[in-house]
């Protein structure tokens, strides 16, 4: 059946800790959570003002804590932009470390993506070859841990279907999949429904994001992604696309998590989004026969 989760990015602006996100999940009967990984030390995280996890934390201890809250990871976000010239030096190790940590924490999905801008001094073919090398090395590790590596449409390459198709075809493995994002595909000027339809056999995780009318009017086709929806899901201009994307999920019998990405505002906006998403997920599960 389709399950509901949320990305802790929702509470970045509220300066919540990860445990506060667990508490919110428990209060609202949500059992899946997604967050970013920090490979190192950050003062804002150390002070409890950032809702993500650091790889120096004990993954088994955190897994036990999450079990007490009735929450588990749907995915860990290790999305350092792989098309950045710094990716070869930084991103590969970051993702590999996230894989090993995720395995101990009870998580089997890792999210990756590219950068918003094309590098000035590299051709598309050079960038694609660089990303292919990184994914190849990452997938070697992922295979040992049975870890799904998702590619999320969020940047210059991944929001263009022709490039996404090449990236998902880098290697013939069931571990290289796609994290669909309804908001990023829309703000990048794509049709989210057509995008999902094209890659529906590859999808293993879904970000549900709406887009406000003002942002769409000002920036659609200019951006390649947004961190979170700045309007409650169901209140924006992307709502019909989201509904039709759920029709596709029903058609393929999707069994996985749809992760809410919405500005939390300390609770109210994401709670309104949760109510809307619950209704559409319940309807989808009935149609799937779950």
Residue range 201-258, pLDDT digits in tens: 999 999 999 999 999 999 999 999 999 999 999 999 999 999 999 999 999 999 999 9
Go through 261-279 and write b for each residue having 16 or more CB atoms within 10 A of its CB, e for each that does not: bbbbbbeebbbbbbebbee
How many angstroms separate the Cα of 78 from the Cα of each of 34, 38, 53, 87, 147?
Answer: 11, 8, 11, 12, 13
Please write the tens of the pLDDT for every residue from 259-286.
999 999 999 999 999 999 999 999 999 9
Q: For 10, which DSSP code?
A: G
- SS3 of residue 206 by DSSP: strand
- Quick one: pLDDT at residue 290? 77
Average pLDDT, the chain: 97
CB contact at 8 A, 7 and 228: yes
pLDDT in tens, 173-203: 999 999 999 999 999 999 999 999 999 999 9
Cα 134 from chain centre: 19
Domains of the chain: 3-288 (3.20.20.150)
- 28 pLDDT tier (thresholds 50, 70, 90): very high
- From residue 224, alpha-carbon distances to 113, 154, 221 in Å are 11, 6, 7
Angle at 156 between CA 150 and CA 160, to 5 degrees: 75
What span, in angstroms and rounded, lies between the C-alpha atoms of 192 and 134? 27
């Amino acid at each position: 059946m389709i399950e509901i989760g949320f990305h802790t990015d929702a509470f970045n602006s509220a300066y919540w800790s990860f445990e506060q996100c667990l508490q919110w999940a428990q209060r609202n009967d949500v059992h899946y959570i997604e967050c970013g990984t920090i490979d190192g030390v950050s003062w804002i995280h150390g002070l409890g003002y950032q809702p993500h996890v650091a790889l120096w934390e004990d993954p088994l201890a955190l897994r036990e804590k999450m079990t007490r809250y009735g929450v588990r990871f749907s995915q860990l976000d290790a999305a350092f932009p792989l098309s950045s010239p710094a990716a070869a030096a930084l991103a590969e190790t970051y993702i590999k470390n996230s894989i090993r940590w995720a395995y101990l924490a009870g998580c089997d999905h890792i999210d990756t993506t590219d950068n918003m801008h094309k590098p000035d001094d590299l051709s598309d073919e050079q960038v694609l070859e660089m990303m292919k090398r990184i994914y190849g090395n990452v997938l070697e590790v992922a295979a040992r841990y049975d870890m799904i590596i998702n590619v999320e449409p969020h940047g210059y390459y991944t929001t263009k279907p022709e490039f996404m198709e090449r990236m998902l075809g880098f290697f013939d493995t069931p571990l290289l999949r796609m994290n669909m994002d309804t908001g990023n595909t829309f703000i990048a000027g794509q049709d989210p429904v057509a995008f999902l339809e094209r890659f529906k056999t590859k999808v293993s995780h879904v970000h549900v994001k709406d887009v406000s009318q003002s942002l769409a009017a000002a920036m659609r086709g200019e951006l390649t992604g947004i961190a979170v929806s700045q309007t409650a899901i169901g209140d924006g201009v992307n709502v019909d696309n989201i509904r039709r994307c759920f029709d596709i999920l029903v058609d393929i019998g999707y069994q996985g998590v749809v992760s809410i990405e919405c500005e939390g505002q300390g609770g109210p906006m994401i709670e309104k989004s949760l109510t809307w998403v619950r209704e559409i997920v319940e309807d989808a599960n009935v149609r799937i026969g779950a």
